[in-house]
Amino acid sequence: MAAEALGGLALGALLVVPPFLPPYFLEVLISVMLFGYLGAAWNILGGYAGQFSFGHAAYFGIGAYTSTLLFLRFGVTPWLGMLAGGVLAAAFGLGAGYLSFRYGLRGPYFSLVTLAFAEMLRVITVNTKAVGSSLGLVIPNREAAPANFVFAGKLAYYYVILAMVLAAVWITWRVARSKLGYALLAIRENEDAAEASGVDVLGMKLRAMAISSLLTAFGGTFYAQYFAYIDPTITFGPSVSIQGLLQAIVGGAGTVLGPLVGAFVLTPVSELSRAAIRGRAGVDVMLYGLVLILVISFLPKGVMGWVSRWR
Amino acid sequence: MTLLDVDCVTKHFGGLTAVSRFSLSVAPGEMVGLIGPNGAGKTTVFHLLSGFHTPTEGDIRFKGVSVVGVKPHAICRRGLARTFQIVQPFMNLSVLDNVMIGAFNRAAEVAAARRRAVDVLDFVGLGARRDVPARELTLPDRKRLEMARALATQPEMLLLDEVMSGLNPTEIDEIIRLIRQIHAQGVSLLIIEHVMRAIMALSQRIVVLHHGEQIAEGRPQVVARDPKVIEAYLGDET
Amino acid sequence: MTADLLLQGIVSGLLLGGVYGLVACGLSLIFGVLRIINFAHGAVMMLAMYTTYWLFALCGIDPYLSILITAPLFFLVGMLIQRTVIEPNRFAAEHNQLLLTLGLALFLENLALVLWQGYFRTVRPTYAGASFMVGEALVEVPRLAACGAAIVLAVVLFAFLRTTDMGKAIRAVSEEPEGAMLMGIDIGRIRAVAFGIGSACVAVAGALVTPFFYVAPDVGESFNLMAFVVVVLGGMGNFVGALFGGFIVGLAESLGATLLPGSLKQLIVFALFVLVLLLRPAGLFGGGRGR
């Protein structure tokens, strides 16, 4: 009962407070939401199915580039472009996933191959003039055009990403309570036992991959529209992949709220560290590394795992 | 009609022949024992039956349809379930969740799976422990859990791989009782076991495997006196 | 592609391949004994390169001579890392151990970024530009020296593992940890030593490449990825395979550079990587662990 009340209060705050926040805090909150969203998307494949992808940047990048290119070259509204990007990313994810799972890649080998796929996409993008190569793509003309996913102030973007986060959390919750959710947990725990118990391991993993890659791609489109600039390193680079998994691991992989909680923990760490040591790039990521080590060592089930011991 | 038909199955692993021209039929409702010295190939046979390995030669038919090349989960769907020699519970899941995974083999929804799982847990005697994480169970309880999870899949035939190993005599008696109850429910059984009194008590028929080949088959008392069988066990004790 | 370009590609590829091989030997050793894929491997190499740089810039010590300092230093650093971060978590789930080394990599790379910032530094000893021709191919002396030293070190390491007691103990632990424990081998110490040796290998590799590679916080990343490819190619835990794998990857990258423009050469390496992972996960030379 207390948990529900707390949750309702938090949700209310997220809905009502932001219009009154100073711009800096609103920006940070948007970052929290975006990272939490990416974490939630990763969580379905990584936390629930136990397949630790180190290359989710592939889907983020496909989403970002697809919607942006459709918009810049053909005037297609990014709202539709987002869907197109999602479908493309899901197709890529299913392809990469099918190859990996069908050939029995598990654990670290799966992680490495996903990393390789993301890197391949990055290298291809860097070397393709038609998509801007390493100069990237700029979305010009920042006049408000909601139909084209361009808003005047940051507040609107905040509500968009909030809606996306809530949707992602809801989807995670529904999956967790479904037959698919149970199957994914079984796969995470013991693939062979799951297979012997009638779980279509390959099929279920692919399902998780499809959902995960689709959602991640939507995040890529949001990023493109919010920041109005993308390039191969930002979108296909390892830092995006790491950001996603970090939120989920720290917050609690395999839990519904874990990624969002993780984002609320990590983003302040990042902001505070950068404020404390100005002018030195990398302080925040350095702390991320430290936090990751500490979480794995002392709180392997993340914050939510630790919280659940008290309930 | 036979339920399970193993037709002259051979399995090579590189240069090693694990199973050689093995044939076996199990009729519906039978309880058959599979014994043999260590390394005879018994678990390999189970892997072949359940789809984890593919025979190099020969065919395996379940309910008249070949299962060669069929994935393990699909074989389970068809009604052939198994346990593992070293128990494989889903450690971080509760006892109930463990069994629900098996129940989903037939149930399409969570509620139905949960109902089935609860019934099966009560049947094997783990009902009171349904919310305990599997990692906290004792070995005998883990064995029950493994059997419960396999039973929840509603199999027509169950392969039990050395469920008695590591159990004390009292626990063995309990498992023997449980297996008899499972059999009474109409499930056919193929049981690998080293605990002789258990296999003698349970089996209607025993098949003996040695170096991947079948060396004897028949009623328990007959097989126990077969000189080839005695030789196989004694010969391996040098 | 002309014969000249081909020859140059082969020469360059083999020379750098030797270094990749040394890096991979260290990674392979760590995997063989500890069963973890050390994501922080490249970061250690980067730290060694900075150490070489500072020794050169501040004390005027020649990069090759500084190996006498760097190798034992990073052997100890490796043992320290293993003891403090990895050993306490040796019973953690496999994916968690992977994340541990990832966290370490993030920490070390960005520590370097914070301390020394991102701009490139170079180590330019007097012989940095020395070179000679082999037919139509240019051979740069530092690259040749690096390759030669890498091969020598790999051979020494191989001999160490084969002939010394410590080496045999390491091999025992990597093949059969429980059996080794029953024989009275101190597994914990072996694990620390193995990580130390692996780190020393990659540190030496780092020192060897400073005359012709820039020094920056992210330089370890590309070697990291190459090392993974090499180790998968050569077979995880297969030492000799790592060295040969290094040459293959070096060649693939170099020939890829002659065929494809820009950084597309990396595609060849990644494609090779993916293919090997999918089709022959035990490595081209086998003997490695599978998936």
- The residue of chain A nearest to residue C105, with distances taken between CA atoms, is A289
Is C222's Cβ below 8 Å from some Cβ in A?
no
Cβ of B82 within 8 Å of Cβ of A185? The answer is no
Structure tokens at A143: 């006049």
Return the domain boundaries, chain A.
40-237
Question: What is the dihedral sign for C-alpha A68, A69, A70, A76?
Answer: positive
In this complex, the residue of B50, B82, B104 whose CB is nearest that of residue A182 is: B104
Q: Which residues of B touch A (CB under 8 A)?
A: 50, 52, 71-74, 76-77, 81-82, 84, 88-93, 97, 100-102, 104-105, 107-110, 113, 149-150, 153
In this complex, the residue of C99, C261, C273 whose CB is nearest that of residue A296 is: C99
- Phi and psi at B12, nearest 5°, equal -105, 140
Chain A residues with beta carbon closer than 8 angstroms to that of B150: 196-197
Distance from CA of B3 to the nearest CA of A (A): 19
Is A268's Cβ below 8 Å from some Cβ in C?
no
Is C259's Cβ below 8 Å from some Cβ in A?
no
In this complex, the residue of B76, B91, B92 whose CB is nearest that of residue A197 is: B76
Task: Round to whole Å and give the CA distance between C273 and C288.
Answer: 15
- What number of CA atoms fall less than 13 Å from residue B215's CA on the CB side? 22
| A211 neighbors A171 (Cβ within 8 angstroms) | yes
pLDDT one-digit tens code per residue, A221-245 = 999 999 999 999 999 999 999 999 9
What was the pLDDT predicted at B238?
45
- The residue of chain A nearest to residue C111, with distances taken between CA atoms, is A286
Interface of C with A in 106-125 (CB under 8 A): 106-111, 113-114, 117-118
Is A196's Cβ below 8 Å from some Cβ in B?
yes
Distance from CA of A42 to the nearest CA of B (A): 21
- The residue of chain B nearest to residue A190, with distances taken between CA atoms, is B90
In this complex, the residue of C36, C106, C118 whose CB is nearest that of residue A285 is: C106
Structure tokens at A4: 């529900």
Q: Indicate the SS3 state at residue A171.
A: helix
Per the prediction, chain B carries an average pLDDT of 93
Distance from CA of A11 to the nearest CA of B (A): 28
In this complex, the residue of A179, A183, A193 whose CB is nearest that of residue B108 is: A179
Percent of chain A whose pLDDT exceeds 70: 99
3-state secondary structure A15-31: HHCHHHCCHHHHHHHHH
- The residue of chain A nearest to residue C232, with distances taken between CA atoms, is A109
Q: Give B150-215 as a DSSP string.
A: HHHT--SEEEEESTTTT--HHHHHHHHHHHHHHHHTT-EEEEE-S-HHHHHHH-SEEEEEETTEEE
Instruction: Point out the least confidently predicted range of A129-138, A144-153, A198-207, B195-204.
Output: A144-153
Interface test with C, best of A190, A292, A301 (most C CBs within 10 A): A292
Cβ of A119 within 8 Å of Cβ of C279? The answer is no
Cβ of A196 within 8 Å of Cβ of B72? The answer is yes
Chain C residues with beta carbon closer than 8 angstroms to that of A282: 109-111, 113-114, 118, 217
Q: How far is CA A273 from CA A163, A219, B187, C102, C116, in A?
A: 29, 25, 64, 20, 17
Chain C residues with beta carbon closer than 8 angstroms to that of A109: 232, 277, 281, 291
CA A156 to chain CA centroid, Å, is 20
Cβ of A182 within 8 Å of Cβ of B91? The answer is no
Task: Round to whole Å and give the CA distance between B192 and B160.
Answer: 6
Structure tokens at A119: 């890197």
Rg (CA), chain C: 19
Angle at B30 between CA B144 and CA B17, to 5 degrees: 80
Q: pLDDT tens track of chain C, all 291 residues? A: 678 888 888 999 999 999 999 999 999 999 989 988 899 999 999 999 999 999 999 999 999 999 999 999 999 999 999 999 999 998 888 889 999 999 999 999 999 999 998 889 988 888 888 888 888 888 989 999 999 999 999 999 999 999 999 999 998 888 888 888 888 888 899 999 999 999 999 999 999 999 999 999 989 888 888 899 999 888 877 788 899 999 999 999 998 888 888 788 889 889 989 998 888 777 776 655 544
Task: Round to whole Å and give the CA distance between C2 and C258.
Answer: 10
Chain C residues with beta carbon closer than 8 angstroms to that of A251: none
| A64 neighbors A72 (Cβ within 8 angstroms) | no
Q: CB-based contacts of B231: which residues, under 8 Å, 6+ apart?
A: none
| A221 neighbors B116 (Cβ within 8 angstroms) | no
The single residue listed with the structure tokens 């160490």 is C160
Angle between helices B95-103 and A179-189 (to 10 degrees): 110
pLDDT one-digit tens code per residue, A154-184 = 999 999 999 999 999 999 999 999 999 999 9
Q: How far is CA B45 from CA B12, B35, B51, C22, C266, in A?
A: 12, 11, 10, 45, 46
| C46 neighbors C219 (Cβ within 8 angstroms) | yes
Cβ of A123 within 8 Å of Cβ of C232? The answer is no
Cβ of A109 within 8 Å of Cβ of C281? The answer is yes
- The residue of chain C nearest to residue A237, with distances taken between CA atoms, is C221
Cβ of A108 within 8 Å of Cβ of C98? The answer is yes
What was the pLDDT predicted at B236?
53
Q: How far is CA B126 from CA A56, B80, B121, B129, C42, in A?
A: 41, 23, 5, 5, 51
Is A193's Cβ below 8 Å from some Cβ in B?
yes
| C200 neighbors C75 (Cβ within 8 angstroms) | yes
pLDDT one-digit tens code per residue, C168-209 = 999 888 888 888 888 888 889 999 999 999 999 999 999 999
Distance from CA of A25 to the nearest CA of C (A): 25
Across the A:C interface, residue pairs with CB atoms under 8 Å apart total 140
Is A190's Cβ below 8 Å from some Cβ in B?
yes
| A21 neighbors A10 (Cβ within 8 angstroms) | no
Interface of A with C in 34-93 (CB under 8 A): 50, 52, 54
CB atoms within 10 A of CB C108: 21
Structure tokens at B79: 């009604």
What was the pLDDT predicted at C279?
85
Is A137's Cβ below 8 Å from some Cβ in C?
no
pLDDT one-digit tens code per residue, A238-287 = 999 999 999 999 999 999 999 999 999 999 989 888 888 887 888 999 99
CB atoms within 10 A of CB A186: 29
What was the pLDDT predicted at B130?
92
Cβ of A124 within 8 Å of Cβ of C277? The answer is no
Chain B residues with beta carbon closer than 8 angstroms to that of A185: 90, 93, 97, 101
Is A305's Cβ below 8 Å from some Cβ in B?
no
In this complex, the residue of B74, B88, B97 whose CB is nearest that of residue A182 is: B97
Distance from CA of C104 to the nearest CA of A (A): 6
pTM: 0.92
Q: Note the ipTM here.
A: 0.92
Interface test with A, best of B70, B77, B87, B90 (most A CBs within 10 A): B90
Partners of chain B (3+ Cβ pairs below 8 A): A
Chain A residues with beta carbon closer than 8 angstroms to that of C274: 99, 113, 116-117, 120
Is C95's Cβ below 8 Å from some Cβ in A?
yes
Chain C residues with beta carbon closer than 8 angstroms to that of A127: 261-264
pLDDT < 50: residue spans in chain B: 238
In this complex, the residue of C100, C221, C291 whose CB is nearest that of residue A293 is: C100
Chain B residues with beta carbon closer than 8 angstroms to that of A194: 73, 90, 101
Q: CB-based contacts of A255: which residues, under 8 Å, 6+ apart?
A: A43, A47, A302, A304, A305, A308
Chain C residues with beta carbon closer than 8 angstroms to that of A112: 37, 228, 232, 273, 277
The single residue listed with the structure tokens 């003996």 is B208
Structure tokens at A169: 């959390």
Rg (CA), chain B: 18
